[in-house]
Structure 1
Amino acid sequence: MDKWFNNNTFAKILALAVSLLLWFMIHLDEVPTTPTITTGISSKVVERTVPVQPYGLDSNTYVLTSLSIDEVRLQIKGQRSMLTSIFTNDDYKVLVDLSQVKDGSNTLPLVPDLPSGVEVVSMEPSMVTVNVEKLGTKSFNVNIVPEGEPSAGYTAGTPVVAPSSLVKVTLPEGQLDAVASVQGSVSVTDAKEDVIQKKVKLQAYDAEGKVIENAILSPQTVEVRVPVNQPYTKVPLRIKYLGQLPEGLVLSTVEPNVKEVSIYGSQGVLAGIQSYDQATLDLTQFTQAGTSTVDVDLTPPSGSEKIEPSSIQIKVTVSPYDEVETTTKVFPNVPINLVGLGNGLEGELVTPKSGGLNITLTGSRIMLEDLNVGDIKLTGNLKGLGAGTHEIKLEAELPRFAKLDEASNDLSSTVRISEKAEETTAPPEQNTNEDNQTTPDPSPAEVENGQPGTDPVEEQDESNTEHQDQSQQGNVPTNRGSVNNNFNTSNNGSKSGSNP
Structure 2
Amino acid sequence: MISKERRKSILYAFVALLFSIVLYFNANGQSVQDTLSGNEAYTQNVSDVSVQLLYDTDQYYIHGYESTVTAKLSSANRVQLNAEAIEDTRMFRVTADLTGLGEGTHEVPLKIRNLSSAVKAKLEPDTITVTIEKKVTKEFEVTPLLTTESTPAGFELNDLELSPKKVTVTTGDQTLEEIQQVVARIEPAMITDDGVDTRVTVQALNSAGEPLSIVSDPVQVTAKATVTKPTKTIRLYGTAQGTPADNVESYDFSFSDIEAEVTGSESQLAQLGNSITIPIDISGIVHRTTRNIDIPVESGLSITPPSIDVEITPVLKTSTENTSRSNSGNSGNSGGSTTSGAGSTPANSSSSTTRQSEETQSTSSEGSNESSSETTQSSSQPNSQEDSSEN
The TM-score with structure 1 as length reference comes to 0.29
Q: Which has the larger radius of gyration?
A: 1
Higher relative contact order (CA 8 A, sep 6+): 2
